[in-house]
Amino acid sequence: MIATFAAPSANDIPLHAVQSADLESFFAALPSRQMAWIQGNGFTARLGQTITIPDAHGNVSAAVVGLGDAKARLRTKFGAAKAASHLPAGTYALSGDISQELTTEIALGWLFEGYRFSRYHDQEKPKARLARPIGIDCDRLEAIAAGEFLTRDLINTPASDMGPDALEAAAQCLAEKFGASFSAIRGDDLLEQNFPMIHTVGRAADRAPRLIELNWGSTGPAVTLVGKGVCFDTGGLNLKPGSSMGLMKKDMGGAATVLGLAHMIMALALPIRLRVLVPAVENSVAGNAFRPQDILTSRKGLTVEINNTDAEGRLVLADALALADEADPDLVISMATLTGAARVAVGADIAPFFTDDDQIAAEISTAGAQSLDPVWRLPLHPAYESMIEPGIADLDNAPSGGKAGAITAALFLRRFVDARYVHFDIFGWQQAPAPSRPKGGFGQGARALLDFLEGMAKG
């Protein structure tokens, strides 16, 4: 699916974007007939409210979308995007005395609102298009939307059609599109090339585990993105109950988000030496599945006691992070649907992240606010290090006690990286339809990271 703006033309329908505080002045500038029509239909400029204005022949001559007030827009991101689904067919040209920031929000939300997952069932798409708004970087917004749509498609596709092999094919297609180099290590070759924990987690599945790699760019800072690609998670021998297994097609949401972010970076030709690593596995149940109390030796040489086979994501990430670190990059970023504890801490809408670098944390937080991509820093609390040290091995993959689960998972991952490091523990799923986000998979943290990486690339 491609999200683009329409080319402007003289036949575009004016779309007036009006804030609640500006409603009276908007009315005052209208012909009396139009003002009476809008008032008579109860238009109050609440966020996302739309109305069309007919001409003398009953055709749409103009339309109006409400922007509400600042509080409403904070409560509902991209709230004005509902106009894309509510307006009749036509191409609309945004009009009104609104800021560049608001114009950008409306335009990006409009693109996002056009997403439909139609692989298995036809979905009606919005018939209203938006002409390229003046004064904003429309190419950038189209690149962001394309990356986001890739992420959504990958997450929404069920594991029957999105196993490790299909995830590899999607990554290879992305690499070919932008001229990136691509490689993958599969099956028993993982053992031969020293990725023992990726192999162990995925060996029980019919579709072989693999480590997917993409490289692009020759100038700028070296940035490695690592995405958890658990294409389905049964929990292994610590089998999940059915209620917990129902959404596990999204357990590759970290990989999907990393690939969507990579799309944005490459489409915008950011001066970054980009490396993407995706350990892609299924955590399945079979006679050769790994077991509780097993002790695994990682690529880095650290030993890990398995106290829950359902804490597998950190295992596959650990081997990939160790590989990433060996190249001494300027920054390593991991993204994963890793812990339920993160959801308990900040809910489904916020992407928590961890880093030891205060400057990076501040810049990512600022970027998240600017891009309407909410993020929140959680602490890598040193006192909890002992919780991931079982005594019989270097590390414990599932500390007992049920406390600080997101933090202990991040502390576990940090043991495999010496470079500057940021870890995102995302949810990747919209539980109910919202403006610009239908129910289903969606990217978290990617827009915040894109803003941050643009600044990093500029120095």
Closest CA relative to residue 445, chosen from 301, 379, 346, 356: 346
Q: In this structure, are residues 292 and 238 in contact, taking their beta carbons and an 8 Å threshold?
A: yes
Average pLDDT over residues 411-438: 97
According to CATH, where is 3.40.220.10 located in the chain? 13-135
Residue 1 has pLDDT above 60, yes or no: no
The pair of structure tokens assigned to 391 is 């005594």
Q: Among the CATH numbers 3.30.420.60, 3.40.630.10, 3.40.50.300, 3.30.1600.10, which is that of 142-458?
A: 3.40.630.10
Q: Residue 2 has what pLDDT?
A: 65
Residue 204 has a CB neighbour count (10 Å cut-off) of 21
Which of these, 161, 162, 213, 159, lies nearest to 186 by C-alpha position?
213
Strand partners, 60: 54
| pLDDT (average), residues 433-447 | 96
> Tens of pLDDT along 172-220?
999 999 999 999 999 999 999 999 999 999 999 999 999 999 999 999 9
Residue 36, CA distances (Å) to 11, 32, 42, 48, 426 in order: 25, 6, 10, 20, 48
Q: For residue 377, which phi and psi values (nearest 5 degrees)?
A: -80, 130
Residue type, 293: Q
3 pLDDT tier (thresholds 50, 70, 90): confident
pLDDT of 235 strictly over 60 = yes
DSSP H helical ranges for 203-278: 242-245, 253-267
Over the stretch 41-84, which tens digit does the pLDDT of each residue have?
999 999 999 999 999 888 999 999 999 999 999 999 999 999 99
User: Start-end ranges of CATH 3.40.630.10 in the chain?
Assistant: 142-458
Please say whether the beta carbons of 395 and 326 come within 8 A: no
Burial state string for 262-294 with b = 16 or more CB within 10 A and e = fewer than 16 = bbbbbbbebebbbbbbbbbbbbbeeeebbeeeb
For residue 124, give every residue at least 6 positions away whose Cβ sits within 8 Å of its Cβ, in sequence order, or none.
116
Is residue 40's pLDDT more than 90? yes
Average pLDDT over residues 367-395: 97
Mean pLDDT of the residues in the chain: 96
Percent of the chain with pLDDT over 90: 96
Residue 97's pLDDT is 85
Instruction: Write the pLDDT tens digit of every residue in 270-285.
Output: 999 999 999 999 999 9
Average the pLDDT over 232-245 and give the result.
Answer: 96
Confidence of residue 414 (pLDDT cuts 50, 70, 90): very high
141-171 per-position pLDDT tens digit = 999 999 999 999 999 999 999 999 999 999 9
Structure-token pair, residue 14 = 């004016």
Q: What mean pLDDT is predicted for residues 375-389?
A: 97
Rounded to 5°, the CA angle 106-264-6 comes to 45
CB atoms within 10 A of CB 444: 28
Measured in whole angstroms, the distance separating CA 364 from the mean position of its chain's CA atoms is 15
Domain 13-135: CATH superfamily, name plus number: Leucine Aminopeptidase, subunit E, domain 1 (3.40.220.10)
Residues forming the active site:
240, 314
Identify the H or E element spanning 184: strand 181-186
Q: Answer yes or no: is pLDDT of 124 > 90.
A: no
Give 423's pLDDT tier (boundaries 50, 70, 90).
very high
Residue 459's pLDDT is 81
